[in-house]
Amino acid sequence: MESTASLLQKQQKKKYYSWVAVFFMVIFLGIGSLYYCTLQIDYTWRWYRVPQYFFFNEQIDVRSDVAGTIDTIEETEEGIIIRIAGDDGENVDYAYPSRDVRIYEGDSIFEGDVLGSYHEWRVGILLQGLWLTLKVSFVAIIFGIFLGLFAGLARISSNPAFKWLSITYIELVRGSPLLVQIFIWYFVLGTLVNTMLAQNGINQVPPLWFGVASLATFTGAYVAEIVRSGIQSIHKGQTEASRSLGMTYAQSMYHVILPQAFIRIIPPLAGQFISLIKDSSLLGIIAIRELTKATREVVTTSLQPFELWFVCAILYLVLTFALSMLLQYLEKRMIHS
């Protein structure tokens, strides 16, 4: 006879797996009903149209820059070499990597005539947008870390100038929407800076940098609060021990407090940086073609919004997931070292 304990275990297992089944059913039902609805409105899914926005094979026409007669057409391993005897007496060579030739030896041609064509792989607009999002986020994170570190240290300083400046900065940034801050950076500060630069004959700062600045200052304020809470979570005894050995405030911070605080603030920092990557989608409104703006442009030309917006979301997911994995790895390594 089976013991009651093993019966109990069996029952618990059964219960567990039935709830696992519920999970998959809910997911399946969600996707299934979405698909069913799209069929109801006669939406045609064309996933095969998506890859071209990552990479596409562009046909490039080779055109003559001179008028003259085709002297020779030579086929080599790498492609075609066409020599044109120009009307002005000079020979011009055209070489391109393909077999496509549209003219014959002895043809006379004019300037701008197509000699042939070849194909070249190009990076699509979505991938360009993804790259820009990555770049903007990365730069903003780096600046945000430094800004946040200094503002966080100033926040807990006993110096009223540092402390109040830091509080003002943090409260201003955290109290207003990022969208408004982007507008202020671009339309107010951007106009001021670029107009003043123009008056002095210096090149304009592109909108990208105002976008990065708005994200960096925004993140910096949140990082400052994270840094502050991290430092304050370190036991007071650590400061007392290091100061009692004769270390200065700065030495104690650098050698004792910050290394310990840093490990503790990695998880909240990871959350903040993931928010930053997602918030960078707002930069589209000041003409920065990051992933969301790129997707919007592609949607207007391809007319496949369903596929593209899903792809866009998944690309963000890839970025944020990779970042969170990276920081988890970093945290584990720092704890074990």
Partner 1 sequence: MIDVKNISKVFLVPHRVDALVNVSENIARGEVVVVIGPSGSGKSTFLRCLNRLETADKGQIFIDGVDILHPKTDINKVRAEVGMVFQSFNLFPHKTVKNNVNLAQNVVRKRSAKEADEITMALLTKVGIADKKNVYPDQLSGGQQQRVAIARALAMNPKAMLFDEPTSALDPEMIGEVLDVMKALAREGMTMVVVTHEMGFAREVADRVIFMDEGKIIEEGTPEHFFTNPSHDRTKLFLKQIL
126's tokens? 């979505």
Pick from 32, 61, 259, 332 the residue near partner 1 by CB under 8 A.
259
Least distance to partner 1 from the beta carbon of 253, Å? 12
Nearer of residues 188 and 241 to partner 1, judged by Cβ: 241
Q: Exactly one of 187, 235, 317, 318 binds partner 1 (CB under 8 A); which one?
A: 235
Smallest separation, CB 175 to partner 1 (Å): 29
- Under rule CB under 8 A, residue 240 binds partner 1: yes
As a whole number of angstroms, the distance between CA 82 and CA 133 comes to 43
Question: For partner 1, which is the closer residue by CB, 135 or 243?
Answer: 243
- Give min distance, CB of 158 to partner 1, in A: 13
Q: How far is the CB of 263 from partner 1 (least distance, A)?
A: 8
In Å, the largest CA–CA distance within the chain is: 106
232 lines the binding site for partner 1 (CB under 8 A): no
- Judged by CB under 8 A, does residue 238 bind partner 1? yes
Residue 38 near partner 1 by CB under 8 A: no
Which residue, among 168, 188, 169, has the nearest Cα to 180 in the 3D structure?
A: 188
User: What does the block give as tokens for 285?
Assistant: 């409104």
| List 106, 160, 175, 246, residue binding partner 1 (CB under 8 A) | 246
Cβ density class 74-96: b for 16+ within 10 Å, e for less: eeeeebbebbbbeeeeeeeebeb
Rounded to whole angstroms, the Cα distance separating 223 from 146 reads 9
Beta-bridge partner residues of 73? 82
Helix (H, G, I), strand (E, B) or coil at 3: coil
Long-range CB contacts for residues 5-10, cutoff 8 Å, separation at least 24: none
Pick the binder of partner 1 from 69, 229, 260, 281 (CB under 8 A): 260
Q: Is 233 in the site for partner 1 (CB under 8 A)?
A: no
* CB nearer partner 1, residue 9 or residue 248: 248
Confirm or reject binding of residue 241 to partner 1 (CB under 8 A): yes
Among 244, 321, 326, 329, binds partner 1 (CB under 8 A): 244
Q: Is 160 in the site for partner 1 (CB under 8 A)?
A: no
Q: Encoding tokens for residue 16?
A: 């567990």
Task: State yes or no: residue 89 binds partner 1 (CB under 8 A).
Answer: no
CB 254 → partner 1: shortest distance, Å? Answer: 9
Q: How far is the CB of 264 from partner 1 (least distance, A)?
A: 11
Cα gap 73→38, rounded to integer Å: 54
To partner 1, the closest distance from the beta carbon of 247 in angstroms equals 6
302 touches partner 1 by CB under 8 A: no
- List contacts with partner 1 (CB under 8 A): 235, 237-238, 240-248, 251, 255-256, 259-260, 263
